[in-house]
Amino acid sequence: MMVNLAKKMTLLRPNWLMLISVAVALLLSLPVMVILTNVATGQANVWQHLIDTVLADYISSSLILMLGVGLGSLLLGVPTAWLTSVCRFPGHKWLAWALLLPLAVPAYIIAYTYTGLLDFAGPVQSLIRETTGLSYGEYWFFEVRSITGAIVMLSLVLYPYVYLMSRAAFLEQSANTLEVSRSLGYSHTKSFFKLALPLARPAIVAGVTLALMETLADYGTVKYFGVTSFTTGIMRTFNGFGDAAAASQLASVLLLFVTCLILMERYSRRRISYHASGIRKASNRKIELNKKQGIIAFCVCFLPVFLGFIVPAIQLLYWAAFSAESIDASFIKLAWNSLYLAALAAIIAVVLALILAYASRLNKRKAVQASVTVAGLGYALPGTIIAIGIIIPFAWLDHQIIAWVKETFEVRLGLVLSGTLFALLFAYTVRFMAVSLGSIQAGLGKITPSLDAAGRSLGYKPLDVLRKIHIPLMKSSVLTALLIVFVDVLKELPATLILRPFNFNTLAVRAFELASDERLADAAPASLMIVLVGLAPVILLSRSIGSGPAH
Amino acid sequence: MTSLPPAHMLTDLNIKNVSVSYDGNTIIQGVDFRLLAGQIGCLLGPSGCGKSTLLRAIAGFEMISTGSIELDGKPLSKPELMVNPEQRNIGMVFQDVALFPHLTISENIEFGIQSWSKSERKERTRHLLELVGLSGFETRYPQSLSGGQQQRIALARAIAPKPKLLLMDEPFSGLDAKLREELVPDVRAILLAEKMSAILVSHDQMEAFAMADQIAVMSEGQIHQLATAYQIYHKPATRLVASFIGHGDLLPSKVCGPTCVISDLGEIKGKTEHGFKADQEIDLLIRPDDILHDDDSEFTGEIVSKWFRGSHFLYRVRLASGKVVYCFASSHHDHSIGQSIGLSVHLDHLVLFPRDA
């Protein structure tokens, strides 16, 4: 059978793909565009007012937070990565994956868990009072709800980014490199500082920038601890004063910080590939530590797991089991809301990622490739920025629609876009597109063009090639992408707080609200559920780093 | 559809004036190529010469902008018509093997013969695995096989549906030299056993010489010569073919008669008339085995470098004019670099190229 249309088809198809991918990219970059245009068109007096009042405060506390979390995640992430990848000591195998567990705990949850443990009425201070007989004010105890506390909490759950990246770098350093350095008279310790650390530096920097992006995006922890920062400031300006212009002005300054981090991360990633050139075979020979060293190494690696996962998990379990209100219909409703919202967002993000990934595979035009890059930029954007960037245009559109409908049909219409699940799903897609795109593109990268050609030359039509070759080969990447987006959406707080429909609650929002009302124990069931679901991608990740370098 | 295809039908591939271009860039320009039934052809040329593009055009993965591709008199490709790759009955072996990683070896081989009955499929797979020497690998996965084994399975998968024509894109380039030497005669034997016409793409002339009946030497999207290996080595049609195939030098010469030319190495006479005008400046192609070491010769050259090859020495010698050429000598004529040696030319057929070309 002959196909005369073939030529037209090949000319048409790439254009469709190009149009779709450019449209998706434009849509996903809408929030940032809105923020930026608000800066350009914003009133000078708003700007002046911000500079006069809060801006310096926000900048300095954000800088302190970043400095503290940067240092904290380095201190927790790098030594543990080096010990578990290069040394042999009791427990090094299970610690290698256990060190990832804190990733499952959202920062706002660990923050209120420790508050419950360490504040005046908590078990620790009670114990001090009981044993010493002193009462409140007669002994010194640190204040958890402070900027230092926020730094510690954020470091405890964000160090795994540094750990993951530097562990991959240490594993890729060939045994030969270290042996050459030993043969030239360097001790293990000296080799570490002279060789291993400088070689891993780009990876470590990339890990720290990821942790810092999360720090800037955090709302729950700083809000709960009463620390002034950009995210709390944006929320206060927007919710408290209803001032969208000022909120987006603040968001734009935050955007500047984020942009610096993105550039730094991109730069270090390029350096990683440069540094990793050479022999890539990972070493199986590990340094045997003696008993004393082994105990120290174990403690160094166990401490972050203990403080970042075990302690909060036990406290949450205790609250959930003994103190919380019993699980009732409203909790089930809450869980159902969260689960279907997360599932819906995951499906949307994965379908769009599939479209974009296939577009960039089939069409090498610059417009398509650029669209894919733009669509993936949202991962660095704090949820507050995305939410503000969505609610401004949606509210405006709603006003137009309502006015038009009222005039033409004389019917009063409710909100169509803003304050609906649509706005919320849109925000999640912007924020988590990169996550699904990364997984899908990695999977598609393994299906070389000649696999398609082989299928065709063996007598299969394009759709059959898709069914027989692509779908079975893409299955696991698609499932991974679905899972990761699902969990990220479940944990997401600030965008949900701003955009959720009236009277619509999710697990994360409810946990945060209960905790803010000092009903810590009642927040535990929801938090525990978030942490448990959050363990799934961590297990997936731990499997991939278990035996070899992570990618 | 369930019965076995009829016994092998002789296949005749005819490519006429074919051009391929993308976005206004012409990759292949006006190529003619014909492969007769049962022959193995080779598209030989440096990378970027368009040989893979031509192969992909035959397979149906590229549109052509002029000319036609016909198989057994039926058009497959024309500028206004394109038979889909899956309807061409042309098999293909890919440079990167392209075995399906999610399927076992036997599932890979059976991929193209799903319409056959189960027993026919099993029998075909058993037969092909035996042919490629990998019986017993049915349930393994491609990743567990070595490079050479994967290449054999890729071949078996491509010929399983008994295609009219088999295309191979640099099928041996990923393999080491020793493995390749083993595999080339095997593949040729398999193709002969299956009575299948085939075209391979290669940049390696030894591979082309070992495999192909007809070799098309390509450069910059055009075929410079289509001939047997012997002919393209000894009677190259263009300077490019002469320099791309084998070692050789072009010796500046002048026509001194209907069958002879004069050069640094004296008068050289061929057996046939060369057809150039008297006194015309021309270049004579000299292969390493055309110049022999001869102590009695009046023509000498100074040794610049030398290689001991066991049975003989290969010298590089500088002639009086400064031109450097190869020279063969038997292995007991061991001279040192810098020494002058006598040279004599032994040529029956003169390969000449006009100077201005």
Domain check: are A357 and A298 in the same one?
Answer: no
Say if residue A353 is in the same domain as residue A256.
no
**3-state class of A185 per DSSP?**
coil
- pLDDT of A150: 94
Return d(Cα B27, Cα B23) in angstroms, integer: 10
Contact residues on chain A for B111, CB-CB shorter than 8 A: 455, 458, 468
The interface residues of chain B toward chain A in range 96-135, judged by CB-CB distance below 8 A, are: 96, 98, 100-102, 111-112
Query: Do A274 and A354 have their domain in common?
Result: no
| For A460, nearest residue in chain B (alpha carbons) | B86
CB B50 within 8 A of CB B220: yes
Q: Is residue A522 part of a domain?
A: no
A378 and A299 inside one domain: no
Distance from CA of A459 to the nearest CA of B (A): 4
Look at residue B7 in the predicted model and tell me its pLDDT: 40
Stretch A234-243: mean pLDDT: 79
Q: Find, among A170, A157, A178, the residue nearest to A203 by Cα.
A: A170
**In A, which residues are within 8 Å of B167 by CB distance?**
457
Residue B22, chain A, CB below 8 Å: the answer is no
Is-contact B213 B37, C-beta < 8 A?
no
End-to-end CA distance of chain B: 56
Please report the pLDDT score of residue A11 as a whole number.
43
Instruction: Examine the pLDDT at B357 and tell me if it is beyond 60.
Output: no
Backbone angles phi, psi at B7, to 5 degrees: -50, 155
The mean per-residue pLDDT over the stretch A142-154 comes to 90
Q: Which pairing describes strands B165-169 and B197-202: parallel, antiparallel, or unpaired? A: parallel
Q: What is the pLDDT of residues A335-354, one digit of tens each?
A: 999 999 999 999 999 999 99
pLDDT value, residue A349 = 94
- Is residue A25's pLDDT more than 70? yes
Tell me if chain B has a CB within 8 Å of the CB of A469.
yes
Per-residue pLDDT, B280:
87
Chain B partners within 8 Å of A463 (Cβ): none
For residues A436 and A297, state if they share a domain.
no
pTM for this prediction: 0.79
Cβ neighbours of B161 in A, within 8 Å: 458-459
Q: Is B161 on the interface with A (CB under 8 A)?
A: yes
Give the pLDDT confidence score for residue A2 in this predicted structure.
40
Q: Which phi and psi angles does B19 have, rounded to 5°?
A: -125, 145
A374 shares its domain with A303: no
Look-up of token digits 């499932």: A479
Q: State the best of B83, B90, B96, B100 to mutate against chain A, taking most chain A CBs within 10 Å.
A: B100
Residue B237 at interface with chain A, using a CB cutoff of 8 Å: no
Question: What does the alpha-carbon distance between residue B209 and residue A542 come to, in Å, rounded to a whole number?
Answer: 52
Give CA angle at A239 (A238, A241), nearest 5°: 70
d(CA A468, CA A475): 12
A458, A469, A474: best to mutate for the B interface, most B CBs within 10 A: A458
Q: What is the dihedral of CA A177, A180, A182, A185, to 10 degrees?
A: -140
**Which of A4, A457, A461 to mutate to test binding with chain B, by most B CBs within 10 Å of its CB?**
A457
Which regions of chain B carry the CATH code 3.40.50.300? 13-243
Indicate the number of domains in chain A.
2
| Same domain, residue pair A165 and A296 | yes
* Residues A295, A429 within the same domain: no
Q: Do A457 and B83 touch (CB under 8 A)?
A: no
Q: Per residue in A195-222, is it b (16+ CB within 10 Å) or e — as a string?
A: bbbebbbbbbbbbbbbbbbbbbbbbbbb
Q: Which residue of B has its CA nearest to A472?
A: B102
What percent of chain B has pLDDT above 70?
96
Mean pLDDT of A217-238: 89
Q: Which residue, A220, A221, A219, is CA-closest to A234?
A: A219
Residue B129 has pLDDT above 90, yes or no: yes
Give the pLDDT score at A44: 67
CB interface of A with B, residues 473-532, below 8 Å = 473
Label the pairing between strands B340-345 and B291-293.
Answer: antiparallel
Mean pLDDT over A516-545 rounds to 85
What six digits make up the tokens of A312? 């909060």
| Domain B13-243 CATH class label | alpha beta
B195 Cβ neighbours under 8 A, 6+ residues apart? B8, B38
The verdict on residue A395 lying in a domain is yes
Segment B11-37 mean pLDDT: 88
Distance (Å) from the C-alpha of residue A65 to the closest C-alpha of chain B? 48
Residue A231 near residue A384, CB atoms below 8 Å: yes
Q: Lowest-pLDDT range, A265-274, A391-400, B31-40?
A: A265-274
Burial A483-512 (b: 16+ CB within 10 A, else e): bbbbbbbbbbbbbbbbbbeeebbbbbbbbb
Looking at residue A194, its amino acid is: K
SS3 (DSSP) at A180: helix
Provide the CATH number for the domain around residue A310.
1.10.3720.10
pLDDT for A551 equals 33
Report chain B residues whose CB lies below 8 A from the CB of A469.
100, 102
pLDDT in tens, B225-258: 999 999 999 899 998 899 888 888 888 898 988 8
Rounded to 5 degrees, φ, ψ at A227 are -90, 135
Question: Residues of B numbered 48-87 whose beta carbons fall under 8 angstroms of chain A's beta carbons: which are they?
Answer: 56, 59-61, 63, 79-87
Cβ distance A450 to B91 less than 8 Å, yes or no, reads no
Longest CA pairwise span in chain A (Å): 94
Q: Is residue A525 in some structural domain?
A: no
Q: Nearest-CA distance from B239 to chain A in Å? A: 35
B157 touches chain A (CB under 8 A): yes
Cβ–Cβ of A457/B158 closer than 8 Å? yes
* From A10, A458, A461, residue closest to B112, measured CB to CB: A458
pLDDT of residue A521: 85
Q: Mean per-residue pLDDT for A425-454?
A: 90
Q: Is B24 on the interface with A (CB under 8 A)?
A: no
- CB atoms B101 and A446 under 8 Å: yes
- CB-CB contact of B224 with B241 (8 Å): yes
Residue A226 backbone class (left: φ over 0; alpha: ψ -120 to 50; beta: rest) = left
CB A96 within 8 A of CB A546: yes
The residues facing A287 across adjacent strands are A87
Residue B102 has its nearest CB partner, among A3, A453, A472, at: A472
A453 at the B interface (CB within 8 A)?
Answer: yes
- What's residue A547's pLDDT? 40
- Contacts by A231-236 with C-beta closer than 8 Å and gap 24+? A231/A382, A231/A384, A231/A494, A233/A54, A233/A58, A234/A384, A234/A385, A234/A388, A235/A384, A235/A494, A235/A497, A235/A498
Residues B247-354: name the CATH superfamily. Nucleic acid-binding proteins (2.40.50.140)
Q: Is the pLDDT of residue A144 over 70?
A: yes
Closest to A254 (Cα-Cα) out of A291, A222, A293, A207: A222
Joined together, the tokens standing for residue B93 give 């072996």
Per-residue pLDDT band for B223 (boundaries 50, 70, 90) equals very high
**Quick one: A257 and A201 in the same domain?**
yes
Domain that holds residue A435: 346-502
Distance CA A159, CA A100 (A): 9
B27 compared with A273, residue with greater pLDDT: B27
Is A455's Cβ below 8 Å from some Cβ in B?
yes
pLDDT value, residue A176 = 64
CA distances for B157 relative to A454, A458, A539, B138, B148, angstroms: 9, 8, 38, 12, 14
Mutate to test the interface with A, among B74, B78, B84, B113 (most CBs of A within 10 A): B84
Q: Answer with the residue of higher pLDDT: A76 or B281.
A: A76
Do A235 and A54 touch, CB atoms closer than 8 A?
Answer: no
- Count CB pairs under 8 A between chains A and B: 79
What is the mean pLDDT of the segment spanning A14-18?
73
**Percentages of chain B per state (helix, strand, coil), in multiples of 5:** 25, 35, 40
pLDDT band at B175 (very low <50, low <70, confident <90, very high): confident
**pLDDT of A275 higher than 80:** no
Work out the average pLDDT over A308-328: 85
DSSP-assigned states of every residue in A389-420 = HHHHHHHHHHHHHHHHHHHHH------SSTTS
Average pLDDT for B249-269: 87
Q: What residues of chain B lie within 8 A of the CB of A448, using their CB?
A: 96, 98
- Per-residue confidence (pLDDT) for residue A276, from 0 to 100: 52
| Strand segments (E) across A68-136 | 87-88
Rg over alpha carbons for chain A, rounded to the nearest Å, is 26
- Evaluate the CA torsion angle A129, A135, A139, A140 in order and state its sign: positive
One domain, residues A279 and A402: no
Q: DSSP of A478-508, one letter per residue?
A: HHHHHHHHHHHHHH--HHHHHHSPTT---HH
The pLDDT value recorded for residue A278 is: 46
**Distance (Å, whole) CA B42 – CA B32:** 14
Q: What is the mean pLDDT of residues B147-174?
A: 89
> A458 and B157 in contact by Cβ < 8 A?
yes
Q: Please report where in the chains the tokens 């819906």 appear, as a residue.
A: A344
Q: Is B92 on the interface with A (CB under 8 A)?
A: yes
pLDDT recorded at residue B321: 85
Q: Are residues A305 and A418 in the same domain?
A: no
In a domain, A6, yes or no: no
Mean pLDDT of all residues in B310-321: 89
**How many residues are present in chain B?**
357
Which of A534, A480, A540 has its CA nearest to residue A507?
A534
CA distance B209 to A446: 34
Bigger pLDDT: A79 or A542?
A: A79
Mean pLDDT of A30-46: 78
Say what the ipTM of the complex is: 0.76
